[in-house]
Structure 1
Amino acid sequence: MVIGGAGDRQSWVRTWLYVVAALVVAMVAVGGATRLTGSGLSITEWRPVTGALPPLSEADWAAEFAKYKDTPQYAILNQGMGLSAFKVLYGWEWGHRLLGRIIGLVFFLPLILFWWQGQISRRLGLGLLGLGLLGGLQGAIGWIMVASGLQPGMTAVAPIKLALHLTTASLILAGLVWLAAGERGGVSAAAPARLRVTASVLPILVLVQIFLGGLVAGSHAGLVYNTWPTMNGYLVPPAEALFAIRPWIENFVDNHTLVQFDHRVAAYLVIVVALLHAIDARLTGSRGTAGRAGGVAFLVLLQVVLGITTLLLGVPLWAALAHQVLAMAVLTMATVHARLSRGTGRLKPVAAAVPFGFEGLAVQGT
């Protein structure tokens, strides 16, 4: 395959990056299902190459099952589980790891082709190599996370490591869509400085919220305080509940009360920033900027409603997965908005907004 002009190059590269980004979202969804079904500790070894094949015979299945029987999770939670039930657990985790391998191939093989054909600029290439390294690190973090759940007395992975694993995947997703948005054709002016700054802050806040959500998921803090807007009658729980653990720093990871409270407060902060930014963009930005900002605000509000619903229902599987996937949609929209708010091509930032209906007198395209 030989790609033609610059426009073709941008189109092919952008499409490829968005395909990889979609696979990352799928990876997050499958990872969430793996966690919620308790399947993440069913494979007790990290075999990056040979692990691509599942057990192919009854003897192989018996060997894998025997390894799982040596784990604390089996001894404490799944004592007496049959082989057929184990195969379901194993299938989720194996599928999760297989999808990770597929993402690696879909990322690196086209990257080599595009680079060999001279279709990737130096700047884009450096960004892609950075994401490739981050992807390799993500695999290692995943195994470190799993290993934490295989320690004596553990029945699940460490919450901080799960949150780190989820946040790293989110960083990879944000990096992919940032680079893909930068490959958008045409030339457009950047948004006014204030809007650019706020647009850049939003993905950071969303990433922080995703990390806090990972702590909630990893510690199962969503299974307590299933009321809203209060936490069992408290808008702000008492200090003795928020900081019941010693040393106090461990409360931010292991204290269900503080972990859930932090997640709620961060959600309120994201809502406020997203709504104020959308209003500001509507009043002072271009039509494209206002539309994107409004889209971010809408997704944030939808995510909050889904999060509250998930909490009130006691974290059913469907709601928890939808909440996790929608978080990726919020991050994607916020990242694309932040990138396009910087403008594309050579135009300098506009000093003020162009009145609606007069966009034809200036290059907007945002």
Structure 2
Amino acid sequence: MKSKRPINTDPKVAYWLLFTASMIFSIIIIGGLTRLTESGLSITEWKPITGAIPPITQEDWEEEFNKYKNSPEFKQLNSHMNLDDFKFIFYYEWGHRLLGRAIGVVFVLPMFYLLMNKKYTSYRVNKRLFAMAGLLGLQGFIGWWMVKSGLDEDELVDRKSKPTVSQYRLTTHLTTAFVLYLGILYTSWEILRENKWLKDPKKAVELLKVLENPQLKKLRGISRLVLFFAFVTAMSGGMVAGLDAGLIYNTFPKMGETWFPSSGELFNNHYLHTQDDAKTDLVWRNMLENPTTVQLIHRCMATATFSLIMMTQFYVLKMKKQGIVPRYLSKTMHGVAGLAVAQVALGISTLIYIVPISLASMHQCGAILLLTWCALFNFKIGKGRPIIRQGLVMMEKKNLNLFK
């Protein structure tokens, strides 16, 4: 029916989504730099519209600087700052927020057009676009919720923390960004793959026969596990960043003179809050708020993820020799393994050189690239939507185009 939307989405939509994903990639890196330069608390108000314009006149700058002077960060850590120093950290945070606004415009305006126009997108893609728009809006709110945690003096006292954002809120902010990024990538990849398959149904059916091999079922499950471990490791890195846990125990593989810190250091009553019960809250408080314990968890997660990737690489090579895994899948897995090696090297270097900004930023970039490649491998080993698979078989048998 002409009134109905197409089953497959126009590839132009995928290119737009990939451009949006590249912007999200950039804002994650810039967000990391904002954290590393300790610029995130320089803007003490949330003005989604008017905040897009920075201070222009000298009076505007003085007014903004005076607002910052009332913040806990200035009073406790940066009272030595002058206006020029303030401008440096202000522009980092302002640029981060401005890029966030730009992503909102680049995503939301075309989305409304696609939702109203029935030519380009399927119902399936429209649902995803709507969900991702909601997540994008939520991300802006989470960003301010995170910043606010570093401006609230009572909360800082309760956390026994210097003026910095809550590691919980920072990791929530990072998690939402990664979920949005992966959601956009998966949607764009699916659109491009389906259009590629529909152009050559015969070749697509041959590929589907390979992917439907029962012996690939186990590898499909492993690929999901690899993606999960890479994601959780990246989020544990967010906890490390939130607590500045990379600034302690700057040795590897040992932590100081021993392989593991003492139990008294890993589970210390100092990290209990006022209303906590030492019997029930000691373990989880230290696992999430003790920099030593958080760094140890990140090391363990990184080691587990690296080991899993290497084992998967050897398993894929074995299956390729048996003719089960196609060449394009093994090449993608090689990319995952190569990025894992690079990421481990960057992580160790960042630690032993006591978190220089350049290495730390590259380490974060490596985390996104590794996660991207894990997601790509997981996607490529997937069989696609049943309706597309069934349609391709019919098209190949009867020489029809069912998806016009």
Superposition TM-score, scaled by structure 1 size: 0.89
What is the rounded CA distance, in whole Å, between the counterparts of 1:22 and 1:286 in structure 2?
28
Q: Give the deviation of 1:115 after TM superposition.
A: 3.1
Q: Deviations over 1:102-140 (max 9, x none)?
A: 011111122223333321111111112111111111111
More divergent stretch after superposition (174-183 vs 229-238)? 229-238
Which residue of the partner structure matches residue 144 of structure 1?
A: 145
More divergent stretch after superposition (290-299 vs 41-50)? 290-299
Pick from 380, 384, 391: which aligns with 1:340? 380
Alignment check: 8 A CA contact 1:173 1:332 kept? no
Pairing of 1:132-211 with structure 2 (within 5 A)? 132-152=133-153, 153=156, 154-183=162-191, 184=193, 185-186=196-197, 187=204, 188-189=207-208, 190=211, 192-211=216-235
More divergent stretch after superposition (153-162 vs 96-105)? 153-162
Which residue of the partner structure matches residue 275 of structure 1?
A: 310
Pairing of 1:1-366 with structure 2 (within 5 A)? 10-118=10-118, 119-152=120-153, 153=156, 154-183=162-191, 184=193, 185-186=196-197, 187=204, 188-189=207-208, 190=211, 192-245=216-269, 246=272, 247-284=282-319, 285-344=325-384, 346-347=388-389
Q: Give the deviation of 1:151 after TM superposition.
A: 1.5
Q: Give the deviation of 1:10 after TM superposition.
A: 3.9
Alignment check: 8 A CA contact 1:20 1:103 kept? yes
What is the rounded CA distance, in whole Å, between the counterparts of 1:292 and 1:237 in structure 2?
38
Which residue of the partner structure matches residue 356 of structure 1?
A: none
Q: Give the deviation of 1:145 after TM superposition.
A: 0.6
Counterpart residue type for residue 211 of structure 1? M
What is the rounded CA distance, in whole Å, between the counterparts of 2:369 and 2:354 in structure 1?
23
What is the rounded CA distance, in whole Å, between the counterparts of 1:248 and 1:222 in structure 2?
21
Alignment check: 8 A CA contact 1:131 1:172 kept? yes
Alignment check: 8 A CA contact 1:41 1:150 kept? yes
More divergent stretch after superposition (69-78 vs 106-115)? 106-115
Counterpart residue type for residue 95 of structure 1? G
What is the rounded CA distance, in whole Å, between the counterparts of 1:198 and 1:132 in structure 2?
31
Q: Give the deviation of 1:207 after TM superposition.
A: 1.5
What is the rounded CA distance, in whole Å, between the counterparts of 1:11 and 1:336 in structure 2?
18
More helix by share: 2
Q: Give 5+ residue unaligned stretches, structure 2.
A: 1-5, 157-161, 198-203, 273-281, 320-324, 391-404
What is the rounded CA distance, in whole Å, between the counterparts of 1:38 and 1:289 in structure 2?
41
Q: Give the deviation of 1:168 after TM superposition.
A: 1.2
Alignment check: 8 A CA contact 2:7 2:122 kept? no
What is the rounded CA distance, in whole Å, between the counterparts of 1:7 and 1:228 in structure 2?
53
What is the rounded CA distance, in whole Å, between the counterparts of 1:124 and 1:11 in structure 2?
12
What is the rounded CA distance, in whole Å, between the counterparts of 1:182 and 1:115 in structure 2?
18
Give percent identity, aligned residues only.
36
Q: Give the deviation of 1:34 after TM superposition.
A: 0.8
Q: Give 5+ residue unaligned stretches, structure 1.
A: 1-5, 349-366
More divergent stretch after superposition (309-318 vs 244-253)? 244-253
Q: Give the deviation of 1:9 after TM superposition.
A: 5.3
